[in-house]
Amino acid sequence: MRPTPRLLAAIVLAVAGCGGPFPQTTLAPRSDLGVAADNLFTHIFWWAVVVFAIVEGLLLFVIIRYRHREGGKGPSRLHGHTVLEIGWTLAPALILVFIAVPTMRTIFATAAPAPEGALRVEVIGHQWWWEFRYPALGVVTANELHLPRGKPVQLDMTSADVIHSFWAPGLGGKRDLTPGHTTRIVFTPDSLGEVAGQCAEFCGASHANMRLRVFVESDSAFGAWAARQLSAAVVPPRGSLAERGQELFAHGACIACHTITGVPQARGTVGPNLTHVGGRTMLAGAMLPNTEEWLRRWITNAPSLKPGSLMPAMPLPDDQVAALIAYLQSLK
């Protein structure tokens, strides 16, 4: 967060009628890209307020001052005025110059590719979840993006199916993920913590359920996270419920879509990589908390929670579901 509270943000929060915390607000930017957009918006907003006050004030004055009164004098004969016309053409044009110049400046300042040594992450949109790949690190994960603070990041984005749009408002504006194209955004997160986001381009039945989280961490926490992601999946202790779960996973329908590194049968790529799913905070496109109860409901009947979900309902016996949950939760 920046030190000075923004007046604009304060106004919006006051109108919103409650204190927040507004995890998805655009008004508390936490990266250079977000700050650039916010500064520009604030600048334009105040120009708009000035114009609003003048024009609406003028309108209000006119309709009060010149309302019909009995016995008032006849209507004015002023039907046109060249100097006025020129004036109210030039004045808005001049204001627009004050808006256009910083706009162009910001467009070009934020368009450049990331410098050498930036962290690159490939973002692939799927109906309805996010795949995050860190090519330099070899990490593959889903829905929860981990980034180190203070290091430039470039997201190289595309889609596996239809158009999506990556939007984590705290980190800056959105950018579409278009099949057949690679788009990018570049930013440097400037403060620790969690940023919520979600898909912003309508992408089908569960567009509303395509959410994401970004965790901005210290270098050491990020390094530890990456190291853990690189390790093979946890091998459950012999005879445990989790081991039975692994057995069910490796010989069931799950492997058609999901990968778990270290389980040779599980190489599916249609759904998210589950190697470290137990370490994620959310499930199913970051729409559900990663708890035993939600896992149970998700495994047994995903489409009832996420309309259109490609993951089918799986009416398994309770003991098998319990084993699968134990296994998945062990995959920290």
Partner 1 sequence: MKSWLTTTDHKRIGQLYFWTALGFFLIGGLEALVIRAQLARPEGIGVSAEVYNQLFTMHGTTMVFLALMPLSAAFFNYIIPLQIGARDVAFPRLNAFSYWVFLLGGLFLNASFVAGPLFGAGSLSVAPDAGWFGYANLTSRQFSPGPNVDFWVLGLQILGIASLAAGFNFIVTILNMRAPGMKLMRLPVFSWMTLVTQFLVITAFPVITVALVLLMFDRFFGTHFFVPSGGGDPILWQHLFWLFGHPEVYILILPAMGIVSEVLPTFSRKPLFGYTVVVYSGVLIGFMGWGVWSHHMFSVGLGPIADSVFSATTMLIAVPTGVKIFNWIGTMWGGQIRFTTAMLFAVGFIAMFIIGGLSGVTHASPPADLQQTDTYYVVAHIHYVLFGGTMLGLFSGMYYWWPKMTGRLLSETLGKWHFWLTFVGMNLAFLPMHFSGLLGMPRRIYTYGPELGVTRLNEISTAGAFLIGISVLVFLVNLWWTRKRGEPAGNDPWQGATLEWAIPSPPPVYNFTVIPRVESRLPLWVTEHHGAMAPLPLTPPAPIHVPGGSWWPLITAFGLPLIAVAAISHQLWLAFVALAVVIVGIYRWAYEPFEV
Q: Which residue has the tokens 């489409």?
A: 303
* Tokens (6 digits) for 96: 């627009």
Please tell me the distance from the alpha carbon of residue 170 to that of residue 173, in angstroms, as a whole number: 8
Shortest separation between residue 23's beta carbon and partner 1, angstroms: 6
Q: Do residues 181 and 164 lie in contact, with contact meaning Cβ atoms separated by under 8 Å?
A: no
Residue of 167, 187, 225, 249 interacting with partner 1 (CB under 8 A): 167
Residue of 125, 148, 152, 173 interacting with partner 1 (CB under 8 A): 173
Residue of 118, 137, 162, 255 interacting with partner 1 (CB under 8 A): 162
Residue type, 161: D
Q: Which is nearer to partner 1, 74 or 317 (CB)?
A: 74
Q: Which is nearer to partner 1, 261 or 301 (CB)?
A: 301
Is 24 a binding residue for partner 1 by CB under 8 A? The answer is yes
Please tell me the distance from the alpha carbon of residue 304 to that of residue 276, in angstroms, as a whole number: 25
* Tokens (6 digits) for 4: 């000075």
* Interface positions, 250-309, toward partner 1 (CB under 8 A): 307-308
Q: Do residues 241 and 322 lie in contact, with contact meaning Cβ atoms separated by under 8 Å?
A: yes
The count of C-alpha atoms lying within 13 angstroms of the C-alpha of 281, restricted to the half-sphere facing its C-beta, is 11
Q: Which is nearer to partner 1, 44 or 230 (CB)?
A: 44
245-261 burial code (b ≥16 CB/10 A, e <16) = bbebbeebebbebbbbb
Residue of 113, 138, 150, 179 interacting with partner 1 (CB under 8 A): 179
Please tell me the distance from the alpha carbon of residue 306 to that of residue 126, in angstroms, as a whole number: 14
Residue 186, helix vs strand vs coil: strand
Is 18 a binding residue for partner 1 by CB under 8 A? The answer is yes
Q: Which residue has the tokens 């910001």?
A: 106
Q: Which is nearer to partner 1, 176 or 217 (CB)?
A: 176
Please tell me the distance from the alpha carbon of residue 184 to that of residue 118, in angstroms, as a whole number: 13
Q: Which stretch binds partner 1 (CB under 8 A): 134-142, 174-182, 222-230, 247-255?
A: 174-182
Is 5 a binding residue for partner 1 by CB under 8 A? The answer is no
Q: Which is nearer to partner 1, 196 or 328 (CB)?
A: 196
Shortest separation between residue 311's beta carbon and partner 1, angstroms: 15
204 Rama class: left (phi>0) / alpha (psi -120 to 50) / beta = left
Is 101 a binding residue for partner 1 by CB under 8 A? The answer is no
* Interface positions, 205-234, toward partner 1 (CB under 8 A): 205-209
* Interface positions, 45-84, toward partner 1 (CB under 8 A): 45, 47-48, 51-52, 55-56, 58-59, 62-63, 66-69, 72, 74-81, 84
Is 312 a binding residue for partner 1 by CB under 8 A? The answer is no
Shortest separation between residue 125's beta carbon and partner 1, angstroms: 12
Please tell me the distance from the alpha carbon of residue 60 to that of residue 112, in angstroms, as a whole number: 46
Q: Which residue has the tokens 């467009």?
A: 107
CA 126-171-95 angle, to 5 degrees, is 115
* Tokens (6 digits) for 253: 């329908």
Is 202 a binding residue for partner 1 by CB under 8 A? The answer is yes
Shortest separation between residue 220's beta carbon and partner 1, angstroms: 29
Q: Which is nearer to partner 1, 44 or 322 (CB)?
A: 44
Site size toward partner 1, by CB under 8 A: 92
Is 17 a binding residue for partner 1 by CB under 8 A? The answer is yes
